[in-house]
Chains A and B, each alone.
Chain A
Amino acid sequence: MALLECKHVYKAFDNRFILTDVNLTLPEGKIVGLLGKNGTGKSTLIKLINDLLTPTEGEILVKGLPVGVESKKMIAYLPERTYLDKNMTVEQVVGFFEDFYENFDSEKARKLLRELDLDPTQKMAKMSKGMQEKVQLVLVMSRKADLYILDEPLGGVDPATRDYILDTILTNFNEGASVLISTHLIQDIERILDEVIFIDKGKIICHEDCDTLRERENASIDEIFRRTFKC
């Protein structure tokens, strides 16, 4: 059974279609890049999978189940914005995740936070945006999920932090799980990807194994992306 299936998914706002007939199947144990220019529907697709948007048409299944309470237990989602309560301390946020997610490993989260030299008593509001994003990443990666969905995890961070983020993702995701990473910073993540999905104007134009694609096109994913999305 596929981990994630999108069947003929459409999403429209005010009769303008953002996603058109999206059909997608994600297997288990793969790191998949969801690549596309800004405003092509990457975040919309991710929000649909996470029940933050409702499809205009079509069906999304996670391990055969429709999006809902059960799918949310299986998906660990990192959005592109900071979503934690600013009035909470780091420790309280860890407690919050512990309360709501059965598959949350609080010891692992505390260990990762210690490595970041974060004061558990510090309030989220007192942290820089970058630090808040790191806390979010730690929380998401400390879940033993089946599917990790990371929306622009590298957006707006310096190269050193990008490396830290990628290492954290690579070394912490649950064995056998899949990771769906949305980004337009392909060069940075190319090395970790197993599969790529190119999305343009709300349609999936390519979903292929990275090595096969590189061999066939005799170019890196970054070069293929630039060629495909040339203005």
Chain B
Amino acid sequence: MLKKLLKYDLKSKLPFLCIFYALAIGCALLSRLFGLFSEVPMVNILSQFFAGATISMIFNILINLTLRSWALFRQNLYGDSSYLMHTLPVEKKTLYLSKALDGLITLIVSFGVIGLTLLIQYYGTALWTKAGLFLRLFSQGRPAMVATLLIGILFLEIANMFQCGFTGLILGHKMNRHKMGYSVLAGLGVYAAGSLFVFAVIGMMALFNDSIRQFFLSTQTQPVEMNDLWLLIALSSAAYAFLILAMYFLNVKWLKQGVNVD
């Protein structure tokens, strides 16, 4: 049943996202193409225009992905479609797992598309070199690895944000009135509590590690010991993974307690 649910969940989201994927890649290609003739003022303006459009499309992908995931979650589990979803011979945890996996898959695909778009847009340009140099300052000559780890953390942060939205909707819809208002409040509250938890984990580490403490306290840009950076990233990732898993099990538990559909 999970496979079938996931198929329908992906089908209802991916076609819309594909439009933004195509637009982002298209804008990046055009910007790069016009950039080849940047000595011509008019073409240069077009190149800059498409460079800006590419960035806005990347944000569009992330915003659309997040809002659409939350909207579909609400529509399927608490809106008109819930009359179908909750009467399917499927367990509540399967319904939730399908939504969570759908979010994860579309997030991975979106990250891939965003990476490809940025590669098309900036590979070999001055900005690319500057970003590399900046990363090298922190990473003792291993910028690619550090960049990958940072992208991993960003991925976990967005995945956590995604799930906080689901948690907010589940908790908000346990109320009998002002469900959307409570959903927003609960979502923000859970996200804030989760962020504080991750910050507290890193803060605890900074208490015992001078290099990490300096990273937060000093205004000077200085390299962090590779081992310390590893530890920082590993602990943050573990904190995020714990948060995501804990919220997943809590959400399933709350959903299994039953729903109150309008």
Contacts and interface: CB of A to CB of B under 8 A. Distances in A.
A83 B89 contact: no
A50 B87 contact: yes
A77 interface: yes
A32 to B, nearest CB: 19
A82 B260 CA distance: 18
Chain A: interface secondary structure? loop
Nearest to A15: B176
Contacts of A13: 176, 260
Interface stretch (A93-101, A205-213, A219-227): A93-101
A14 B179 CA distance: 13
B258 to A, nearest CB: 3
Interface in A62-105: 68-70, 72-73, 75, 77, 79, 81-85, 87, 96, 99-101
A54 B260 contact: yes
B12 A96 contact: no
Given A47-B261, A52-B261, A84 B12 contact: no
B255 to A, nearest CB: 11
Interface residues of A, number: 26
B87 A77 contact: yes
A125 to B, nearest CB: 13
Given A14-B176, A54-B260, A96-B8, A83 B84 contact: yes
A100 B88 contact: yes
A84 B84 contact: yes
Interface stretch (B18-26, B75-83, B133-141, B226-234): B75-83
Contact of A99 (B4, B80, B83, B91): B4
B84 A52 contact: no
Contact of A100 (B83, B90, B257, B258): B90
A53 interface: yes
Contacts of B80: 81-83
A69 B88 CA distance: 8
Contacts of B89: 69-70, 72-73, 100-101
B261 A72 contact: no
A100 B4 contact: yes
B48 to A, nearest CB: 37
A99 B12 CA distance: 16
B261 A69 contact: no
A124 to B, nearest CB: 11
B86 interface: yes
B1 interface: yes
A79 B83 CA distance: 7
B130 interface: no
A90 to B, nearest CB: 15
A172 to B, nearest CB: 19
Contacts of A85: 12, 81
A9 B176 CA distance: 19
Given A14-B176, A14-B177, A53-B261, A87 B87 contact: no
B86 A52 contact: yes
A11 B80 CA distance: 21
B83 A69 contact: no
A79 B177 CA distance: 22
A69 B86 CA distance: 10
A72 B87 contact: yes
A123 to B, nearest CB: 13
A163 interface: no
Nearest to B257: A54
B259 interface: yes
A87 B12 contact: yes
8 contacts: A14-B176, A51-B86, A53-B261, A68-B91, A72-B89, A83-B83, A84-B81, A99-B4
Interface of B: 1, 4, 8, 12, 80-84, 86-91, 176-177, 257-261
Given A50-B86, A52-B83, 9 more contacts: A13-B260, A53-B258, A69-B89, A70-B89, A72-B90, A73-B89, A87-B12, A100-B1, A101-B88
Closest 4 CB pairs of A and B: A54-B258, A83-B83, A79-B83, A72-B89
